[in-house]
Amino acid sequence: MTDPEPRSLQRLHVLTPWLQSWRYLLAVIGGAIAVFRDDLRRIGDAWEFLQDQPLLLSLLIGVGTLVLVSGVIVSWAYVSWRMTGYAVQGHTLFVRSGVLVRQRRQVRLDRLQGVDIQQPMMARIFGLASLKLELAAGSGATTTLGYLTLDDAHLLRADLIARSGRRSIDQSTGLPVEEAERPILTVPTARVLQARLLEAALSVGVLALYVVIAVVVVLLAGGGPGAAVAALFPALPWLLAIGSQGVSRFLQEANFSLGESVDGLRIHSGLLALNHRTVPPRRVQGVHISEPLTWRMVGWARLTVDVAGSVASGREAMLPAANTLVPVASTAEVTGLFTGVSGVRLDQVAFVPVPRRTRWLDPFAASWLAVGLTDAAAVTRTGWLTRRTAVVPYARIQSVRATQGPIQRRLGLASVHIDGAVGSSGWSAPHRPVEDAHALVHALAGRALTARRAEHP
């Protein structure tokens, strides 16, 4: 399956090294200024020295320094660009990079699961894009290739998909048959903003409660206004966290649209950085609806999916919206899509609630907790501040667990959990009566096997 490595490589866009390292460059310059502040002041002295010199000499020194520093940076960027390249040969993509430590990477295109086009903010300004290659599980992490002009990125993406052999090819152009994308849902950016504010409202409410209590306690204890203000400081990092998380999430989820193509669901989102992702249905490990308290008042919900192996890669794992299928929509729309993705019709699931005695352990959630088994999947409802509905297809179950703490033992309850592949965010059915839990764990383990066998006849 390996192809010989071609001699000549295609080059990426000449701005690539700059786009990849502008953050570091800024950080280095900022750090240098901070560290060498005193020395910079001495440069001021040097400036006075220069002014005493003939004009020509001072110009020579000033320009010389500038040329030297920028020369080093520019030539590093040039060398780095010259030494990076890619080539497509047969069914293999070759990528070479690195100045001091050379890296050669061969990507087997027959293991390609999907190619997404990404445009971080800076790249978008220059009209560039990078490709993110997702490979089948077990054959290495994702590979990023960039930057290219947006047009080139689209062409290369089509070429890679064609070579992966997973799409029929148009004979006249040699490119894969155009992937028609049927739009499913567009979320207005204003709605995303409202939803973010509503969700933050709850945390801000709790924070306000803290502020009031803190101030009252301090004043009652005889502290002056100064002490009362000081008591507010612990709330500050909290507020910052709520704010920054909310803003970053809004920036990712704004401008959101969802479509359907041959490869699966296509997600487009991002205000500053544009993101396009594909969710192949075969890799879906689980689907979740979440309804925060404040959203329930207006009838909104969020839909997320667990995609095998997609969360693993570094910076992206930190993004709160990495698994979002619908950032916010009406409960009816979300329920409809939930059915589309998971094949489970929630109104036809026979949910079994938990017994009344659960109130002793979980007073607010007890009325919501429930489990339902369908022909192909297990559904559970959990949570109370944020109500969640989660479904895991039997074929995706890796193992099943039951747990029972001391209080649960007194009440004759036990919790049941499903372990999914890496990338799944968990499925659990808390506080089932033990006899039900017993039946449930064995039913799940049994169905996991039969479902898997049915998938691989």
Partner 1 sequence: MSSRADDARRLFVDPDCVWHGVSPRLLTLRRIAPSVLMVVAAALAGLFVVLSVWPVAVVAAVVFAAALGWWLWLPLNIAAWRYAEREEDLLVSRGRLIRRLTIVPYGRMQVIDVEAGPLEARVGIASVELVTASASTDAKIPGLPLDVAQDLRNRLTAKGEAEAAGL
How near is the Cβ of 141 to partner 1 at its closest, in Å?
Answer: 16
* CB 389 within 8 Å of CB 346: yes
Nearer to partner 1, 219 or 451 (CB): 451
Contacting partner 1 within 66-125 (CB under 8 A) = none
DSSP state for residue 36 in the 8-state scheme: T
Nearer to partner 1, 115 or 441 (CB): 441
Kindly determine how many residues on this chain lie close enough to bind partner 1 according to the rule CB under 8 A. Answer: 36
Nearer to partner 1, 186 or 428 (CB): 428
Can you name the residues that pair with 378 across neighbouring β-strands? 373, 392
Contacting partner 1 within 409-428 (CB under 8 A) = 409, 412, 414, 417, 419-422, 424, 426
How near is the Cβ of 452 to partner 1 at its closest, in Å?
Answer: 6
Nearer to partner 1, 6 or 426 (CB): 426
118-127: long-range contacts, CB 8 A cutoff, minimum separation 24: 118/144, 118/146, 118/273, 118/274, 118/275, 118/276, 119/150, 119/270, 119/273, 119/274, 119/275, 120/19, 120/273, 121/272, 121/273, 122/19, 122/22, 123/19, 123/147, 124/272, 124/273, 124/274, 126/15, 126/19
d(CA 303, CA 168): 32
From residue 429 to residue 448, the character string flagging contacts with partner 1 as x (rule: CB under 8 A) and all else as - is ----xxx-xx--xx-xxx-x
From residue 364 to residue 403, the character string flagging contacts with partner 1 as x (rule: CB under 8 A) and all else as - is ---------------------------------xxxxxxx
d(CA 337, CA 334): 5
| Region of 59-67, 92-100, 325-333, 404-412 interacting with partner 1 (CB under 8 A) | 404-412
**Helix/strand/coil (H, E, C) string of 432-455?**
EEHHHHHHHHHHHHHHHHHHHHHH
* CB 380 within 8 Å of CB 371: yes
How near is the Cβ of 385 to partner 1 at its closest, in Å?
Answer: 23
How near is the Cβ of 304 to partner 1 at its closest, in Å?
Answer: 18
From residue 124 to residue 143, the character string flagging contacts with partner 1 as x (rule: CB under 8 A) and all else as - is -------------x------
Nearer to partner 1, 259 or 420 (CB): 420
How near is the Cβ of 455 to partner 1 at its closest, in Å?
Answer: 8
d(CA 393, CA 404): 24
- Give the interface with partner 1 as residue ranges (CB under 8 A): 137, 397-406, 409, 412, 414, 417, 419-422, 424, 426, 433-435, 437-438, 441-442, 444-446, 448-449, 452-453, 456
